[in-house]
Chains A and B, each alone.
Chain A
Amino acid sequence: MRRVGGRGLARRVLPGTYFWQGNEACAEGAIMAGCRFFAGYPITPASEIAEHLAERLPQVGGIAVQMEDEMASLGAVIGASWAGAKAMTATSGPGFSLMQENIGYTFMTETPCVIVDVQRVGPSTGQATKCGQGDVMQARWGTHGDYASVVLSPNSVQEMFDLTIRAFNLAEKYRTPVVLLADEIVAHMRERVEVPTLDKIEILNRRKPKPNEKAFFGSEEIPPMPSVGEGFNVAVTGSTHDEYGYRYSADPVVHRKLAERLVGKIKQNAKTIVDFEGYNVEGCEVGIVSYGCTSRAVYEAVKLAKERRISVGFVTLKTIWPFPHDVVRALAQNVKVLLVPEMNLQQVFYEVERSAHGSVPVVPINKVGGGEMITPEEILAEVVRSVKAVD
């Protein structure tokens, strides 16, 4: 029987211009990145990813399966990754909550994989078909223990394609799980996507070990990753372990070394991982930090503010974690007030406030429920109000 998986480049995602739904673009981005295994469980508003991949993955020699629940979905992704495949799952809030234990496992074992969370109104069942942005802190801290999350935030259908590819690249490069934190609006809207020729797309693959190597879980910042069935006798475990994967359930030194490396490998490389879009960050009256669908309204608000002769700048987060503290801190030095619009009841707000470190007032703009976006007019109103308040 043929072996499936591996590092084959995408087939049949031909370069060109497409008109895609966000979820569709995410699925195609995964295929382009070399994803050849998907395991998922149906959940609104992410099901289209599973449906699309169920049809497309077999066409490129990949496998898509529906598992019995979200824990099994991520479990199968973990097994697939250790068998050598680039693997992905997709879910929303309730499923993301269920996956947390296995997410911790992927951190602890340094299993590369991509987890798509298409946010909806929460907590709990919430409003399945309505957009929310309330999973931000969960994406950072959802599972127990010490680890450093890598979380990407697309704000367009083009980014659903591009950032999915980036997610796989980061997962492979840093041997870590990467969350693509989308939202229902970006996932369900339809926009133009440009798919470039293959030579213009960077695709990274995990570093494989040399034949006699034995240390796959330490002894260097990002260790090489063997696959099972290659004769390496790899010992993968979620327990604390040394560089050979041997379990040490009591030794403080072994744990310290491991935990500090797991956190350090992301922290030390934060500058490379962090991605954002900045506008007018050198100096303006009002700075806005936003992400996901909300950032689309910010673009419009900036134009409206310009008409009123108020200069507005923004930082649109494309990685929420690691959080670009330096970038936001710099922005804080150059503005009179920072606004943080989000479709939740304050999450990124706390990070911005921390970055600003008291240098400027930080004002949250919050709206939840019914999938109602924060409108450009609402943002403008707060811009106007804040400018008056600080003058």
Chain B
Amino acid sequence: MPLPFCPGCGDITVINCFLRAVHELGYADLRRFVFCSGIGCAAWIPSPYFEADSIHTTHGRSIPVATGVKLNRPDLNVVVFGGDGDLVGIGLSHLIHAARRNLDITVILVNNMIYGMTGGQVAPTTPFKARTTTTPYGSFEYPLDATRLVVAARACYAARWTTFHVEQLKEAMKRAVTTKGFAFVEAVSQCPTAFGRRAGFKTAVDMLRWFKENSVLVQHVEKMAESDLIGRIVVGEFARREFPSFTETLYETVKEARKSA
């Protein structure tokens, strides 16, 4: 089936990294996985292009649906794919609560800093002063750092890479899928069609070069001045910890309740 993405779209890189990650983890197919995704280009990654169970939900509500799936089938790997509009805009509350609960799912945020599918409107992750279709004079809002947000909400694993960092992105996805607890991977991605074009990038390659030249590892950030961090993309692993997951605790409670009934 032909993919619907634009030429140069970062989603294709994300697909590549994810499927390689799954393969390297030893899965011969995706039957142990269930994919939930909302609305947007990134949400079309699994639905229906993966040969797997996929639930393509309403905008921003993929994580609640994933919650319902995971709680009833804790044995399956539940993976959410979504864009920045879907997961950091309309679905932000659900992202935070899933992290807070330590729901053991994997969330892959494909952050192209724009609402791509609808033609390029400003998003909660769009850089300050960027030109978009709904901010023709430049965005007057500051972008949200979703990775740091989920870390504050107690995510067990949180990492951010760009579609330039394919090897690291793949490794992060492997770690996320095998994490016991809430795992989050943000893939900063190029959207040449809806964002890059208006933001001054001529091609997808120009955007990848921008990612490469402006990325800085999270370990180095402490030593850098505030002013040096403007316009930079901080990448790396932001959290790695372990504590009882939502499903674990809930099932223990059910077990106790059954005894008392």
> Are B47 and A72 in contact, with the CB atoms below 8 A?
no
Chain B, Cβ-Cβ closest to A84: B72
* B contact residues around A105 at 8 Å (CB): 57-58
| A87: Cβ under 8 A from any B Cβ | yes
| A81: Cβ under 8 A from any B Cβ | yes
> Are B71 and A228 in contact, with the CB atoms below 8 A?
no
> Are A39 and B56 in contact, with the CB atoms below 8 A?
no
Contact of B68 among A37, A69, A231, A247 (CB under 8 A): A37
> Are B68 and A77 in contact, with the CB atoms below 8 A?
yes
Known interface pairs A63-B254, A237-B56, A245-B48; A228-B61 also in contact (CB < 8 Å): no
Contact of B75 among A3, A85, A235 (CB under 8 A): A3
* B contact residues around A62 at 8 Å (CB): 254
B17 to chain A, nearest CB (A): 22
Candidate in B53, B67, B250, B251 with the most chain A CB atoms within 10 angstroms: B53
| B260: Cβ under 8 A from any A Cβ | yes
* A contact residues around B56 at 8 Å (CB): 235-239, 247
A217 to chain B, nearest CB (A): 11
CA distance A232 to B48 in the complex (A): 13
Chain A, Cβ-Cβ closest to B53: A228
> Are A3 and B73 in contact, with the CB atoms below 8 A?
yes
Residues from 219 to 258 in A contacting B, C-beta threshold 8 Å = 227-229, 231-239, 245-247
* B contact residues around A39 at 8 Å (CB): 64, 67-68
| A60: Cβ under 8 A from any B Cβ | yes
* B contact residues around A309 at 8 Å (CB): none
> Are B261 and A72 in contact, with the CB atoms below 8 A?
no
| B247: Cβ under 8 A from any A Cβ | yes
A240 to chain B, nearest CB (A): 12
> Are B52 and A75 in contact, with the CB atoms below 8 A?
no
CA distance A344 to B111 in the complex (A): 47
> Are A75 and B73 in contact, with the CB atoms below 8 A?
no
B250 to chain A, nearest CB (A): 6
* A contact residues around B227 at 8 Å (CB): none
Residues from 48 to 94 in B contacting A, C-beta threshold 8 Å = 48, 51-58, 60-61, 63-76, 93-94
| B224: Cβ under 8 A from any A Cβ | no
> Are A76 and B65 in contact, with the CB atoms below 8 A?
yes
> Are A58 and B76 in contact, with the CB atoms below 8 A?
no
* B contact residues around A237 at 8 Å (CB): 47-48, 54-56
Chain A, Cβ-Cβ closest to B48: A235
| B34: Cβ under 8 A from any A Cβ | yes
| B118: Cβ under 8 A from any A Cβ | no
> Are B52 and A233 in contact, with the CB atoms below 8 A?
yes
> Are A79 and B36 in contact, with the CB atoms below 8 A?
yes
> Are A4 and B55 in contact, with the CB atoms below 8 A?
no
> Are B68 and A81 in contact, with the CB atoms below 8 A?
yes
Chain B, Cβ-Cβ closest to A72: B64
Which residues of A line the B interface, CB within 8 A? 1-5, 12, 37, 39, 55, 58-63, 65, 67-69, 71-85, 87, 101-102, 104-105, 227-229, 231-239, 245-247
Which residues of B line the A interface, CB within 8 A? 31, 34, 36, 47-48, 51-58, 60-61, 63-76, 93-94, 97, 247-248, 250-251, 253-254, 256-258, 260-261
Ordered by A's residue number, 23 sampled pairs between the chains whose C-beta atoms are within 8 Å are A1-B74, A58-B257, A59-B257, A63-B254, A67-B64, A68-B94, A72-B63, A72-B94, A74-B64, A79-B36, A79-B55, A79-B67, A79-B68, A79-B69, A80-B71, A80-B72, A83-B72, A83-B73, A102-B58, A105-B58, A228-B55, A233-B53, A245-B48
